[in-house]
C-alpha cells in the first residue's frame, strides 16, 4: 500500500496521511511518521516530483530570513530593542543594526526607537531555537509615523502583494494611499484622503476573502474602477519596483504563483 | 486595527472615520425579542459587531421598609471573557459595575416602570424586576447597546402566574410589565475638539472623554454619566445633548 493517498491541491487537515511508503519525501508543513507522510497543519497539499509540500491556509506567522515585516517595540534593553512581530516568537533588533549613524556607548536608546513605536524591518536571521534577528539597514526600512495598521491573514500576504508587487501597486495607483505590506500580516496604510484609505482597506479585505478564487486581479481592478470612477491601465508602471528585501523573497519563489 | 491618535483627530475633522462612517453615524442596529426561554422577557441587540443579550426575571419579595408600596428594580451586567480579550472571568469589575449603573439609572430616573403597580400586598409582597445583560461580543459602545437591550427585554416581559405567594414560572400570563417611557442612552465621545458617537473598540480606547445621555420620548433628560479624563465645557455638553436626543429618536424607532 504505497503511493500517494490524496489528490494534488486538495485541502488537508493536520494528521492526514498524504502518502505511504518511501516513494515520496516530506517537505514544508509535512512530516514522516513510520511509513507515512502526514500533514502538519491545515493547508493545500502540493506534489512536486517526489516532494510533498503544504501551503498553509491559516495559522500564525513564522519568521523567515529575508522577510520584510512590521513590528512593534516592546522592550528597550542595553544592547537593543525587543520587537513584537505578530508571531509566536519575538525578535531582537541590535544597536549596530538599528541605524547607519553612530550610537554612543550608553546613549539613551529610547531616543531612536521608543516603546510602542512601529518599525518596518527585515529579518536577517532565524536560528534553530527561533531567535529572530532584525535589521533596519536596507532600503525602505524605517520607523512608521501616523497612518493605521491593519492585521491580515499572513498566508494571504503574497496575494495582496501580487506578482512582483502588481496588486498592491494597483491599489496604491488607484487610491493614492501609501501602503506597506509586512510579510507577518501587518499592513500599514497612510493617506491625506481618509476616504481613499477606507477604500484601500476595503480592497485588501476583499483580496483576503477572495484570494482562492481565480481571476482575482481582474475582479479587484473592476472593483477599484467602480469605486473610484477612474479607469486603471494595467501597465508596466503598476509593476512598481519592490524593495530589495521583498524582491529576494520573490526570487525564492514565495510570491504569488498562479 | 492600530491607529494613531493625532491622525484620528485630523481625519475626524474632515468628517470621516476609520471605518468610513461619519462622526455622528451609528452602525446598524438590530433588535430581536424573546431570545431566551428561561427569562420572562429577553432581547438580543446587535450594533455592528457588538452583541448584547438582556434578560428579565420577575421575583416576588418583601418591599423595602422605606418604600412599602413599591416593587423593586435590579440591573446587573456581565462582561463575558469571550466578548473581548480585555475581560476576565470572576467578580464584576469597575466597567461592568458602571455599565449596570448607567443602565439602571436611566430606567429608574425616567420612572419607566410603574413601581406602584408591582405591589401585591402593602409592606408584605411585591414584584422585583431583575434585568441582567450579557455582553456576547464587545466591538465598542457597550453602554448604548446594553441600555437598549435592557429596555427591549423589559418591553418583552410578561408576568408569570402567581399561585398564592409563590411564583409559577412555568405559566406565563398575558399581562405585560407596565413600561411607560422609553429611556434610550446615547453616549457621545470627545477626542480633541471633535465629537462622535458609536465608537469601535479602537476609537473607544483613544477618546478623551465621554458623556452618556439618557433621554425619553419627549427629550427630557433622565441621567448623565461622564467618563474619561478630559473635561467638558458647557457648550460641548449642550452639543452632546442635542446629538444624543437626535440619535435616541432614531434608535427608538428600531425598538
Are B4 and A194 a contacting pair at CB < 8 A? no
pLDDT reported for residue A13: 93
Please give the DSSP secondary-structure letter assigned to residue A78. S
What CATH code is assigned to A3-56? 2.40.50.100
Q: How far apart, in whole angstroms, are the C-alpha atoms of residue B45 and residue A182? A: 37
- Sign of the four-CA dihedral A166, A167, A173, A176: negative
> What is the Cα–Cα distance from B92 to B69, expressed in whole angstroms?
31
pLDDT score, position B32 = 95
Strand ranges inside A96-232, DSSP E? 118-126, 132-135, 143-144, 148-151, 178-181, 186-190
Distance from CA of B205 to the nearest CA of A (A): 15
What topology does CATH give the domain A68-144? OB fold (Dihydrolipoamide Acetyltransferase, E2P) (2.40.50)
| Residue A127 to residue B64: CA distance in whole angstroms | 69
First to last CA, chain A: 33
**If you ran DSSP here, which 8-state letter would residue B113 be given?**
B
Domain extents for chain B? 5-253
Best residue in B3, B4, B5, B202 to probe A by mutation, most A CBs within 10 Å? B4
pLDDT score recorded for residue A248: 44
pLDDT of residue A234: 64
Q: Which tens digit of pLDDT belongs to each residue from B110-120? A: 999 988 889 99
Q: In this predicted model, what pLDDT tens digit does every residue of A85-133 receive, in sequence order?
A: 999 999 999 998 988 888 887 788 888 999 999 999 999 999 999 999 9
Q: What is the C-alpha separation between B226 and B246, in angstroms, rounded?
A: 19
Per-position pLDDT tens, chain B of length 255: 788 888 888 888 888 888 889 999 999 999 999 999 899 999 999 999 999 999 999 999 999 999 898 989 999 999 999 999 989 998 999 999 999 999 999 999 999 998 888 999 988 999 999 999 999 999 999 999 999 999 999 999 999 999 888 899 988 898 999 898 999 999 999 999 999 999 999 899 999 999 999 999 998 999 999 999 999 999 999 999 999 999 999 999 998
Angstrom distance (rounded) from CA A217 to CA A159: 9
In chain B, what residues touch A151 (CB-CB under 8 Å)? 1
Chain A's closest residue to B14, CA to CA, is: A194
**Which regions of chain A carry the CATH code 3.30.1370.10?**
148-251
Cβ within 8 Å, pair A195-B20: yes
Q: Which fold has domain B5-253?
A: Ribosomal Protein S5; domain 2 (3.30.230)
pLDDT along chain A (258 residues), means of 10: 80 92 89 91 89 88 93 92 94 90 83 92 94 92 91 92 90 93 94 90 93 87 88 58 45 41
The answer to whether residue B49 neighbours chain A at the CB level (below 8 Å) is no
Q: What is the pLDDT of residues B141-188, one digit of tens each?
A: 999 999 999 999 999 999 999 988 889 998 889 899 989 899 999 999
A149 → closest Cβ in B1, B11, B20: B1
Provide the 3-class DSSP secondary structure of residue A29.
coil
The Cα–Cα gap between B22 and A99 comes to: 41
ipTM of the complex: 0.75
Q: Are A197 and A191 in contact (CB under 8 A)?
A: yes
3-state secondary structure B185-224: EEEEEEECCEEEECCCHHHHHHCCEEEEEEECCCCCEEEE
* Helix extents (H) in chain B: 5-13, 94-109, 142-156, 201-206, 234-253
Residue of A nearest to B5 (CA): A146
CA distances from A1 to A8, A26, A32, B155, B177 (A): 18, 18, 16, 67, 71
Are residues B87 and B138 in contact, defined by beta-carbon separation less than 8 angstroms? yes
CATH superfamily ID and name for A148-251 = K Homology domain, type 1 (3.30.1370.10)
Which chain B residues are Cβ-neighbours of A195 within 8 angstroms? 16, 20
Q: Which of A146, A151, A198 is facing B4, going by the closest CB pair? A: A146
Amino acid at each position: 500500500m504505497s503511493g500517494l493517498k490524496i489528490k494534488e491541491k486538495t485541502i488537508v487537515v493536520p494528521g492526514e496521511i498524504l502518502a505511504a511508503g518511501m516513494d515520496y519525501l516530506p517537505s514544508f508543513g509535512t512530516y514522516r511518521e513510520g511509513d507515512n507522510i502526514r500533514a502538519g497543519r491545515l493547508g493545500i497539499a502540493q506534489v512536486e516530483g517526489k516532494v510533498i509540500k503544504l501551503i498553509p491556509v491559516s495559522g500564525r506567522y513564522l519568521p523567515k530570513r529575508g522577510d520584510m515585516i512590521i513590528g512593534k517595540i516592546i522592550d528597550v534593553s542595553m544592547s537593543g530593542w525587543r520587537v513584537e512581530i505578530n508571531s509566536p516568537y519575538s525578535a531582537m533588533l541590535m544597536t549596530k543594526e538599528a541605524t547607519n549613524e553612530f550610537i554612543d556607548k550608553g546613549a539613551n536608546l529610547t531616543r531612536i526607537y521608543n516603546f510602542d513605536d512601529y518599525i518596518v524591518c527585515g529579518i536577517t536571521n532565524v536560528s534553530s531555537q527561533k531567535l529572530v534577528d532584525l535589521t533596519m539597514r536596507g532600503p525602505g526600512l524605517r520607523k512608521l509615523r501616523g497612518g493605521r495598521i491593519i492585521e491580515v491573514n499572513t498566508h494571504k500576504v503574497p496575494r495582496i502583494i501580487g506578482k512582483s508587487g502588481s496588486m498592491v501597486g494597483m491599489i496604491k495607483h488607484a487610491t493614492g494611499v501609501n501602503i506597506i505590506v509586512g510579510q507577518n500580516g501587518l499592513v500599514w496604510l497612510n493617506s491625506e484622503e481618509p476616504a481613499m484609505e477606507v477604500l484601500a482597506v476595503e480592497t485588501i479585505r476583499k483580496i483576503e476573502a477572495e484570494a482562492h478564487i481565480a481571476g482575482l486581479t481582474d475582479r479587484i481592478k473592476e472593483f477599484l474602477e467602480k469605486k473610484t470612477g477612474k479607469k486603471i491601465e494595467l501597465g508596466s508602471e503598476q509593476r512598481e519596483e519592490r524593495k530589495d528585501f521583498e524582491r529576494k523573497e520573490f526570487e525564492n519563489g514565495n510570491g504569488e504563483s498562479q | 486595527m492600530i491607529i494613531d491618535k493625532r491622525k484620528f483627530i485630523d481625519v475626524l475633522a474632515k468628517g470621516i472615520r476609520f471605518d468610513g462612517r461619519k462622526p455622528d453615524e451609528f452602525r446598524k442596529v438590530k433588535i430581536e425579542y424573546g431570545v431566551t426561554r428561561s427569562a420572562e422577557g429577553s432581547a438580543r441587540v446587535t450594533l455592528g459587531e457588538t452583541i448584547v443579550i438582556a434578560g428579565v426575571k420577575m421575583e416576588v419579595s418583601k418591599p423595602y421598609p422605606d418604600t412599602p408600596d413599591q416593587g423593586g428594580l435590579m440591573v446587573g451586567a456581565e462582561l463575558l471573557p469571550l466578548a473581548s480579550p480585555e475581560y476576565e472571568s470572576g467578580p464584576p469589575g469597575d466597567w461592568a459595575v458602571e455599565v449596570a449603573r448607567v443602565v439602571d439609572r436611566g430606567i429608574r430616573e425616567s420612572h419607566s416602570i410603574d413601581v406602584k403597580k408591582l405591589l401585591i400586598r402593602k409592606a408584605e409582597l411585591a414584584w422585583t424586576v431583575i434585568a441582567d445583560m450579557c455582553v456576547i461580543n464587545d466591538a465598542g459602545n457597550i453602554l448604548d447597546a446594553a441600555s437598549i437591550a435592557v429596555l427591549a427585554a423589559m418591553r418583552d416581559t410578561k408576568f408569570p402566574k402567581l399561585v398564592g405567594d409563590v411564583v409559577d414560572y412555568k405559566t406565563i400570563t398575558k399581562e405585560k410589565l407596565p413600561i411607560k417611557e422609553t429611556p434610550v442612552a446615547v453616549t457621545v465621545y470627545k477626542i480633541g475638539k471633535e465629537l462622535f458617537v458609536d465608537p469601535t473598540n479602537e476609537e473607544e480606547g483613544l477618546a478623551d472623554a465621554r458623556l452618556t445621555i439618557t433621554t425619553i420620548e419627549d427629550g427630557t433628560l433622565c441621567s448623565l454619566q461622564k467618563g474619561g479624563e478630559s473635561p467638558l465645557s458647557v457648550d460641548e455638553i449642550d452639543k452632546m445633548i442635542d446629538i444624543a436626543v437626535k440619535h435616541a429618536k432614531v434608535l427608538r424607532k428600531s425598538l
